[in-house]
Structure 1
């Protein structure tokens, strides 16, 4: 276990601050924000929101979805744990005037969550909840940090991308992966990449990120914990207990209370247009609404492209 020791002077007293990192990742829309918040309902755990996000993360992040690079990740971890990391403003192109102003004044979710976690005297483990770090897992593994992949079915991911009108420059991401230690992951899905080249930007982005991220997760299946989002819906208590045990903790009353709150959520309607995170939605609704958003043709594309990897991931439960 790698632990950086941060020291600082408080009067004449020297204080040691030891913290461990856990990477909680998956594809965008896999649920890292909500799951990270639930796991952090423990006095010794806190979470930091997307420090590798291109818009609001570490200033050294130059692209969407940084690719495995041990020097890059080593520098991040050292600065992160030494309380020396500098973050971007967190301003997104679609942010309104007052939201931009608030972020320019230093009130971005990433900065606030980081300052709270790193300066806490009780927090021993910091969860980095970040789907944009899905290709950095080999680096965290090499540093003996725990990695949890949240696996969400590709139908829900594709529908969410369509609803949010999201798309990424997949050619750039694939190009950078080909020039890295992850080239074999791209090679493994080269046929699917070709089949998706003429699809819509949102469908191509969703499915290629899904394939590349979970192909990497599957290749590291003996070194990471892969958690099915559906298991969180079906049996949240035992699934959260599994994740906490993996991190070295037990379920607390605070965990049970928030799980109960999610299970009794009254908002069971479809997700709101353009809203990425809705904590008060019925968890059962989350994995069903895709049938109302994807066309029959799109559903068939998802099935043909993703079913082989779905079978492999489902096989891990046996």
Structure 2
């Protein structure tokens, strides 16, 4: 059964951020703790197939918005700790089935596809929001080779998202069209424009820099666990196991050598590709290194 206490030590944790920014890596580490249940991407229609024709990735809902009834039901189900068969199968083959099925007193819901719902989730479920950030070149080097959908209209067709956050950046979005590296950078930038605007009034959100986590994972995760009210011993053991990963070729794997992850893009991208990413980020008025108050570092 899910916990009913809403104090800080029992609040659900919503782990999010731009995709390919370390949410899976961090989620599987934090879920190693006793009494923690881990839900993987309940708003991602890949793992919740009934959402496929009704709800898209990166849908935007602010705290004051009313969400569709079907989405409210899915969110309530997730924050009660319930999972689809697809999610449970994933937990089995990724090796965290215990964290998916055993009784729990703390819940981690991890979903970067719902990053633009963080404001709504924070209010609706009294959730502690944890956002991972990653250098935009690292983000781009990860998603472009996977041939992810880099469609920019999925953002600009959301009228309220444009009204609340993106209107000043429409020229930059238009300039990014047609080049996959610029489009990836524009997606990174749009997500972070929203997050930075929301952080102005969300002082309790915790921001974790992926590169900092990878450079000093045990200390950083220990500090994060203390802020979240989690015991750090089991997560630190998980870190040591992942740090000696076999470098397997699974493109979705979190089991990669930790020290190699932060700046692998420097050997993957050409200078022209790096320039395309950084120029687009600058076009949004952003820095590739986001310095946030509330960081776990």
With the length of structure 1 as denominator, give the TM-score of the two structures. Answer: 0.75
Q: Secondary structure at the match of 1:310?
A: coil
CA apart distance, 1:27: 1.1
What residue number does 2:270 align with?
295
Q: How many residues align?
A: 278
Q: 161, 171, 189: which one pairs with 2:153?
A: 171
Which has the greater radius of gyration? 1
Q: Secondary structure at the match of 1:288?
A: coil
- The change in CA–CA distance for 1:62 and 1:109 in structure 2 (over 3 A counts) is farther
What residue number does 2:59 align with?
66
Post-superposition CA distance 1:29-80 (Å, at most 9, x none):
1111111010011112121111111222262452122321543464333233
Aligned counterparts of 2:40 and 2:230: Cα–Cα separation in 1: 21
CA apart distance, 1:311: 6.0
- For the aligned residue pairs, the C-alpha RMSD in angstroms reads 3.4
- The change in CA–CA distance for 1:194 and 1:276 in structure 2 (over 3 A counts) is same
Answer whether contact 1:59 1:87 (CA < 8 A) is retained: no
- The change in CA–CA distance for 1:172 and 1:311 in structure 2 (over 3 A counts) is closer
- The change in CA–CA distance for 1:217 and 1:246 in structure 2 (over 3 A counts) is farther
- The change in CA–CA distance for 1:205 and 1:52 in structure 2 (over 3 A counts) is farther
CA apart distance, 1:140: 1.4
Q: Tell me if 1:44 matches 2:7.
A: no
Answer whether contact 2:135 2:289 (CA < 8 A) is retained: no
Gap regions ≥5 residues in structure 2: none
Q: 187, 195, 199: which one pairs with 1:217?
A: 195
Q: 240, 243, 249: which one pairs with 2:221?
A: 240
With the length of structure 2 as denominator, give the TM-score of the two structures. Answer: 0.79
What residue number does 1:77 align with?
75
Answer whether contact 2:11 2:128 (CA < 8 A) is retained: no
Aligned counterparts of 2:264 and 2:79: Cα–Cα separation in 1: 40
CA apart distance, 1:219: 1.7
Aligned counterparts of 2:220 and 2:231: Cα–Cα separation in 1: 12
